[in-house]
Structure 1
């Protein structure tokens, strides 16, 4: 699934996002609003990882959904 479809179905995808990145709060997931850059920033902050790693994880998430 490409990111546009994930973004368009964000409310339905939040459960899957929570499964993938369980340390993110519901508020953080909601604030991302399906925006890939915002989600990457939230993942970086919460997990203390580099932007490249956050984007790699998002790519893997998108590929399996």
Structure 2
């Protein structure tokens, strides 16, 4: 199980690529490309949040295990 870093990186990539597509669509008056970019940015944001949640769970499990070992 990953600690969320992979999801965060993929999410950041999706956001950047989506922004480029959105800007390209805006410059070329291509509404479908602009929408595609916005959707990809949303996907990236969601993936980053999944990464954050995985990291939080990972950290809490580690903390709980460390606490149990100290007893």
State TM-score, norm by structure 2.
0.28
